[in-house]
Amino acid sequence: MFTELANYGIQKIIPDLTLISFFKENIESIIITHGHEDHIGALSWVLPIFKNKTKLFVSSFVYNIIIKRLLKNLNSRSLDISIFNANKKFQFGPFECQTFRVTHSIPDCYGFVLKSPYGNILHTGDWKMDEAPLDGEILDKELLQEISKEGVLLFFSDSTNAMSPGRTLSERNIYDSITNIITNPSISGRIITTQFASNVYRLYSIKKSSELTNRKICFLGASLNSYLEAAYLDGRAPFNPSELIEDDTDLDKYDNNSLLIVTTGSQGEPNSTLNLSSLDVSSKLSLKSSDTILYSAKIIPGNEKRVTKMLNRLSSHGCDIIYGNNKHIHTSGHAYEEELKEILKIVKPKVFIPVHGEVMSLYSHGKMALRECGVSKVAIIRNGQLLKVTRSPESSYIMTNHILGECRISNFYQFGNNLVSTYEELSINERIRISSSGVIIISIEFWKKIIDKNTDFKFYSKIKITSKGLWTDRGKLNSILKKIINGIFIKSRPVISVASLEQIIQETIAYMCFKINYQIPEICIVLNEFSK
């Protein structure tokens, strides 16, 4: 996953692989339901655990996305990948597996059914119900109804929007809205759209609009090109990547009314093209007051401040920003309440396990299943918990609330190109404190001079104080701190240890900094005692 800690040198969040490592001998196969980064991003860390003993099942579109990065990060000989097709059965470890089509915000998405001696296990993957998808591939309700007749023991379903009432808009509505906006004759100048890079469906409206307005399309952002290339290889792209203006082209050579620019940066990512251009530091895109920005995305929770600041900067350039739910230029790829209820009533599972969502969404989804969809048993489990589902020997009663155990897990963080470690080991709290409150480094070299049984502290050199990232009132703070440190040495007893002296200085400096700046910086004290 991407992280909010990018400013502190953290590039990605890597899941804790402890549990997978513990059971690696029992994991025979892995299936990828679709190509979003939160589902494929950890493969380069997961696959090496199994040492070529585990088979990876993917769709053709996902294969096109992941193959380059896996070949780059792993030995190509170690990859055992099979491409599956919709509704085709295949052996998945000890299970017979059958995939079925679902609709989402990226092409070629699947749920799957595992056949077991105890009953069918069904997982939706990420999904929504779209009766008019742009690629014509709707959720396969017929297969779900057939599986329901056989009986579903366990049902796992996406809970992301379990607290959103109603139904999601069709991507067809978004296609019409974006096309109408871009082809509006009242809009002049360059049109710059931003979206999630993986949403290939939005490119259909971009292609149609460019044809109607005779605008040339330019992609600015490597991830956009990666997904378009994968879609083109799979026959799902609305146009050939070769039709695009190359991203190193000087865009100022083109007439403003002839350009349709697609950029990354809908979440205000620090290094994205749109964010850098809002800061006037992008080498690829210089904003103009005549530009129109079409924000075709949702602000992911946690990114609100960052995105708002970016949009404000874009507005300060004079750009016209088209944004908001009432514009119908974005729709979610995750089902809303009414869709979730519908699929629960189709599947009729004996046990329901809501997955893929915030904790409050999981509980909301579970209550919905119990109260409104005729489900009798719901199990909500945390990451790292092991749930055992068994059939009683005396009857068909199914136990669902037996937690075998729990593995304590924590996120790992990628720092630099190779280093992956924990929050504590990377001292992220210190990084955050230094960035917000600054740092003070104090270096003191001293020795004890004994005269007539009296001990006096003497300094080898001047007390050195270096401060970064905090207000010093033109050096006055450092002068005050030096006087305080001198006072501490004068009042200290001869027998005081270096550790105690350091603690007293630390606490006194922290108090004084808070009194002056209302902040406590990171304080580093280096005490060197010499004998003479």
CATH code, domain with 493: 3.10.20.580
Of 327, 347, 379, the residue at which a domain comes to its end is 327
Of 327, 350, 369, the residue that ends a domain is 327
CA–CA distance, 44 with 414 (Å, rounded to integer): 13
Are residues 210 and 239 located together in one domain of the fold?
A: yes
Q: What CATH number did the domain enclosing 212 receive?
A: 3.40.50.10710
Q: Are residues 180 and 306 in the same domain?
A: yes
Q: Tell me: the pLDDT tens digits for 57-93?
A: 999 999 999 988 887 777 655 678 999 999 999 999 8
37 domain residue, yes or no: no
Give mean pLDDT, residues 211-222: 92
Residues 474-490: pLDDT tens digits? 778 888 888 888 888 88
User: What digits encode the pLDDT tens for the residues 296-341?
Assistant: 999 888 788 999 999 999 999 999 999 987 889 999 999 999 999 9
Q: What pLDDT sits at residue 492?
A: 79
Same domain, 184 and 244: yes
pLDDT (0 to 100) of residue 2: 55
Per-residue pLDDT at 419 exceeds 60 = no
Which residues lie closer than 8 Å to 326 by C-beta, 6 or more apart?
none
Is residue 79 assigned to a domain? no
- pLDDT score recorded for residue 69: 81
189 and 308 both lie in a single domain: yes
Q: What does pLDDT average to over the chain?
A: 87
Quick check: 369 and 392 in contact, CB under 8 A?
Answer: no
Instruction: Note whether 355 and 159 are within 8 A (CB).
Output: yes
Q: DSSP readout, 440-507?
A: EEEEEEEEEEEETTEEEEEESS--EEEEESS--TTTHHHHHHHHHHHHHHHHS-TT--HHHHHHHHHH
Residue 463's domain comprises 427-530
Give the DSSP per-residue string, 139-172: --HHHHHHHHHH-EEEEEEE-TTTTS-S-PPPHH
Sign of CA dihedral 106, 179, 300, 345: negative
Q: Taking a C-beta distance cutoff of 8 angstroms, is the pair 102, 111 a contact? A: yes
311 and 337: one domain? no
Strands annotated E in 244-286: 259-263
Together in a domain, 177 and 258: yes
pLDDT digits (tens, 9 = 90+) for 299-308: 888 788 999 9
Query: What percent of the chain shows pLDDT beyond 90?
Result: 52
Q: Tell me the average pLDDT across 230-245.
A: 92
Would residue 18 count as lying in a domain? no
Percentage of residues of the chain with pLDDT beyond 70? 90
Number of domains in the chain: 3
Same domain, yes or no, for 316 and 182?
yes
**Mean pLDDT, range 513-519, rounded to an integer:** 85
Whether the pLDDT of residue 249 is over 60: the answer is: yes
- Give the integer Cα–Cα distance in Å for 169 and 161: 13
CA nearest to 109, candidates 296, 264, 234, 295: 234
CA-based nearest residue to 488, from 454, 531, 444, 452: 444
Please, which pLDDT band fits residue 10 given cuts at 50, 70 and 90? low
> Would residue 122 count as lying in a domain?
yes
Q: Do residues 367 and 340 touch, judged by C-beta distance below 8 A?
A: no
8 Å CB contact between 259 and 218 = yes
Q: How confident is the model at residue 452 (pLDDT cuts 50, 70, 90)?
A: low
> pLDDT value at position 347?
97
Are residue 202 and residue 298 in the same domain, yes or no?
Answer: yes
Q: From 286, 309, 327, give the residue that closes a domain.
A: 327
pLDDT surpassing 80 at residue 8: no
Q: Are residues 222 and 282 in the same domain?
A: yes
The pLDDT score that the predictor gives to residue 187 is: 93
In a domain, residue 212? The reply is yes
The answer as to whether 28 is a domain residue is no
Question: Distance between CA 104 and CA 189 in Å, rounded?
Answer: 33
Cα–Cα dist 50/28, whole Å: 9
Assigned token pair, 498: 């270096």
Asked whether residue 184 falls in the same domain as residue 290, the answer is yes
352 close to 157: Cβ distance less than 8 angstroms = yes
Looking up residue 390, the CATH number of its domain turns out to be 3.60.15.10
Q: What is the mean pLDDT of residues 140-158?
A: 95
Greatest Cα pair distance, the chain, in angstroms, is 99
Which whole-number Å values give the CA distances from 111 to 68, 108, 181, 319, 442, in the listed order? 24, 11, 34, 42, 60
The answer to whether the pTM exceeds 0.85 is: no
**Which one, of 399, 430, 321, lies nearest residue 153 by Cα?**
399
Residue 391 and residue 285 share a domain: no
pLDDT at 399 over 60: no
Q: Which strand (E) or helix (H) includes residue 341? A: helix 337-347
Q: What is the rounded distance in angstroms from the CA atom of residue 6 to the CA atom of residue 199?
A: 24
Q: Quick check: is 32 in a domain? A: no
In a domain, 268, yes or no: yes
Provide the edge-to-edge strand list for the sheet that holds 95-102. Answer: 89-92, 95-102, 109-116, 119-123, 152-158, 351-355, 377-378
Smallest CA-to-CA distance from 531 within 455, 463, 462, 465 is with 455
Mean pLDDT of 171-191: 95
Domain shared by 188 and 303, yes or no: yes
